[in-house]
A = this chain, B = another copy of it.
Amino acid sequence: MQGGSESTRLTEALGPLHPTRDELDLQAYEARLARPVRVKAAELQRDGRLRHLIFAGQLSPALLDDLAETADQVRVLSKSRAGQDFLRDLLAHRRAMLYFTQPSTRTFLSFTAACQILGITCNEVRDPSTSSEAKGETRFDSIRMFSSYFDLIIMRSPVARLAESCAYLMNDLARSAQRSVPIVNAGSGADEHPTQALLDVYTLQRTFKFENPADSPVSRLDELRGRYGHADLSTGLAHKTYGFCGDIGRGRTVRSLAMLLADYPGVRLVFVTPDHPALRMRDDLRQRLAERGVPVLEVDSFEAPVDGVPAIEAIDALYMTRVQREHDTPADQESLARLDLSPYKLTRDLVARMKAYAPILHPFPRDQHFGEIPAEIDSDPRAMYFRQARNGMWVRAALLAHLLDADGAIERYFHREFREHHIYSS
């Protein structure tokens, strides 16, 4: 049924009442879209590496470690002019298309900056109404046009599963020895935003190294184990309790991050939301987490007990979200107006009670009118959300390097420089 309903959505989004040839052809893709993620993920690889990035589900802990390592190398190299010049030459012969028919300044600029770090030339289409689509061109013809001119397509679209379908189109072209380029999903419909999950994980990886004061509110693990009394605290993402607060139901970043964290041992997830059908966890996520055997707590307050202490004191990291009021139905508007949402805003007092090392993340933008994170918290060492945005740039550069087979060259250069000039990881 899941596959069928996605199929319907795709056909509806693509065309008018009388189906065109191209829409009929889409049914081939729809059958492929309906397969389990595990099966599909294999098709999005080539030679054991990512060919396209479409779902967060493609990101295994091992791959996440590889990408984080490349990202760390890119950021260190970017501290010197020689390293910057090396990076900018690396993919200077490549041209990217950023096809963003769903607006997102932040994601757009982050990808653009990532491209520029590696020397990739950026091109963009943001408004499809001025393009050939207004003259009756199908989206697939548009994508093939982009693949004629450019070497990589980064796409963000309101149409669910469009990026995935385009990846299959590219695979089909490759099979018939025609020009084919990698597709990166920069947000597709309500479902997937895999590079946001990637940067969220990268931020947690940086923090839970307990190495760099800029990344970790407390960067001395031995101190934390000793003086602060967290005897069992370990580095890495495993064996931690992650809190999520706010709009869990409609936040695709929460869905993706939760699923990625579920792959690490000893992880627990605490969801703090009002008991409202739009905001609380959806059944499908609850079921998928249950299938993985991840302990999940759903509570309606930071004061709800976890291991006998209030949730706010128990969590190792806190992921705040914006309430996406733009997706409210009229019924939501009415019922949400009657709820007290103030418990889902962070305050200085709440932050003061958090663990000293626990980072606060937010996918941004935050909402100044709702105020889920007031500006007065920005100067707290646990506030990691601005750093998180910059992490997105580094890890997206790492992803692009991986997709265009340049990560090996980065690693070799990095280790040679490291040996010769003693540059340091930071």
Contact = CB atoms under 8 A, between A and B. Distances in A.
Given A21-B371, A135-B326, A375-B22, A141 B365 contact: yes
Interface in A110-162: 110, 112-113, 116, 121, 123, 125-126, 130-133, 135-138, 140-142, 144-146, 148-150
B136 A21 contact: no
A389 interface: yes
A3 interface: no
Given A93-B84, A121-B116, A141 B105 contact: no
A292 interface: no
A366 interface: yes
A131 B105 CA distance: 5
Contact of A135 (B132, B367, B376): B367
Given A105-B125, A132-B364, A390-B149, A371 B92 contact: no
Contacts of A146: 109
Contacts of A149: 109-110, 112-113, 389-390, 393
A93 B103 contact: no
A133 to B, nearest CB: 8
A123 B112 contact: yes
A379 B28 CA distance: 16
Contact of A109 (B123, B135, B326): B123
A15 B179 CA distance: 46
B88 A135 contact: no
A136 B22 contact: no
A85 interface: yes
A112 B364 CA distance: 28
A148 B368 contact: no
A311 to B, nearest CB: 24
Nearest to A23: B368
B389 A145 contact: yes
A380 B244 CA distance: 53
A422 interface: no
Given A103-B131, A144-B386, A390-B149, A136 B365 contact: yes
Contacts of A364: 132, 137, 141, 145
Contacts of A52: none
Interface string A343-386: 00000000000000000000011111111001110010000001
Nearest first, the 4 A-B pairs at minimum CB distance are: A136-B367, A137-B365, A132-B365, A105-B131
15 contacts: A20-B368, A21-B368, A25-B375, A88-B92, A95-B116, A104-B132, A105-B131, A105-B145, A109-B125, A113-B150, A136-B366, A141-B366, A145-B389, A148-B393, A179-B390
